[in-house]
A = this chain, B = another copy of it.
Amino acid sequence: MASPSTRHEKRWKQPLSVVNIGLESFADSLNEQEVSVRQLDWRPSPADVPRLLYTKDGTSIDQANKEALQRMMAGRPQIVGLDLAKNVVPGMTDRMILHAGPPVTWERMCGPTRGAVMGALVYEGLAGEPEEAAEIAVSGNLDFDPCHHHQAVGPMAGIVSPSMPVWIVENAEFGNRAYCTLNEGLGKVLRYGAYGEEVYQRLHWMADELYPTLAAALEDSGPIDLRAMIAQALHMGDECHNRNRAGTSLLLRALGPSLARTCSDGQCLARVLEFIDGNDHFFLNLSMPAGKAMLQPIEGIEGCTILSVMARNGTDFGVRLAGDPDHWFTAPAGVVEGLYLPGFSEEDANPDIGDSTITETAGFGGFAMAAAPAIASFIGGSAQDALNTTREMYEICFGEHEHFTIPSLGFQGTPTGIDVRLVMESGILPKLNTGIAHKEPGIGMVGAGVLRAPESCFREAFDSVKSW
């Protein structure tokens, strides 16, 4: 019997070389028949989809989005202090655990989030061991809630428990506040789902020595301008999501003199400085609430199709639109392509997790990767990939940032304000960079990489906009 390709040759009188556009299943089918085929990465031109310009009651979406961008530009996030979560985070109770991403029950929680919850319960003294903590978690005797429901953001698992210290970031223009814990560093840390003595000890030191030392310095220094610091860091090779070396350095410079004036114990001060110097991600837990504080004022703008939230809990990826700010649109969290720490591989990886995509939502992070070519050594890829990512993200953003600029692009503003209309018109999904947590509780970080947001939550959000 003739082979499939011979059959084709008989029919077409020559070997076929096929270029396929559209559904990949056609190409797959030809491939199975041993026909040479190249799949073209092509989508209908934006011109084929008429842009949605008005809501049903005639509100101009462009006007609404313009207003949103203006509010984002006017925002002036500042560090104004630190306190314990239970004292300042709105709605926080003694039995409440906040987590990253959209709402999720214990049953559907991924490994690292479960691990971080268990670790936090031991840290809080509510359980003696992680196993006991898991029983408490199962019991239903705890309230789980997304950070985003409490003006907070948390990287990776994003766990905030009542007695953890948090940064207080205030948007000086609008008066709204955002909260975030202090960054623990990389590796075997709670936010990557790790628990154990090493993790608890670090968290206790952070609460007992780091927090009061920083709080006293901040009272001496007064508010610290995070918008200026992020802008500077973007000129120093950070994108302020997975590269925060410059931001961390600038924070140390800004706090240094006040730390010197307020901390009379030189050994304590040295430990604080060494801890921060030893953790280039320290600034992440400030760039995140800065992004949140800049986005909160756009929530509730009628007809606004710009994303106010994009977040993942390790099980689901969720987005919220400024025009419908309490509505989560979710899809399964994606798989991260990345660089793995020695001894780990893709098989160990949990799906995409964390609130840190608030940085991309606010116009920096992955969207500003062109400013951070050296990030390739952490998340993989090349400098050209980083440049391409930023260039592509302009296609789905409503504007460019006035304050956050990219020197290598002639100081062009970063792509800012993800417009769900543009995402659906272009077929381009937001590109994110992220750390990777082990999928089992109790282990921690295994790598870092990049991925795209899943499509279906954007499609659902867009469909919902059509009914506005």
Contacts and interface: CB of A to CB of B under 8 A. Distances in A.
Interface stretch (A51-59, A111-119, A163-171, A263-271): A263-271
Copies of this chain, how many?
A: 2
B236 A246 contact: yes
Interface in A340-399: 373-374, 376, 382-384, 387
Interface in A252-274: 252-254, 256-258, 260-264, 266-267, 269-271, 273-274
A384 B254 CA distance: 31
A314 interface: no
A249 interface: yes
A277 B256 CA distance: 9
Interface residues of A, number: 40
A18 interface: no
A409 interface: yes
A338 B407 CA distance: 18
A399 B331 CA distance: 51
Given A261-B266, A266-B261, A273-B257, A407 B250 contact: no
Contacts of A277: 253-254, 256-257
Nearest to A273: B256
B261 A270 contact: yes
A408 interface: yes
Contacts of A254: 277
Contacts of A407: 237, 373-374, 376, 383
Contact of A408 (B235, B270, B383): B383
Contacts of A274: 256-257
Nearest to A220: B270
B374 A235 contact: yes
B373 A408 contact: yes
Nearest to A370: B408
Contacts of A227: none
A258 B271 CA distance: 10
Contacts of A408: 373, 383, 387, 408
19 contacts: A237-B237, A246-B249, A249-B253, A252-B252, A253-B273, A256-B256, A256-B274, A256-B277, A257-B273, A257-B274, A260-B263, A261-B267, A262-B266, A374-B407, A376-B407, A382-B410, A383-B407, A383-B411, A408-B408
Given A373-B407, A374-B407, A383-B411, 14 more contacts: A232-B245, A235-B237, A235-B374, A237-B407, A249-B253, A253-B277, A257-B274, A257-B277, A258-B270, A260-B260, A260-B266, A261-B270, A262-B266, A376-B411
Q: Which 6 pairs across A and B sit closest by C-beta, in order of nearness? A: A249-B249, A373-B407, A260-B269, A374-B407, A256-B273, A260-B270
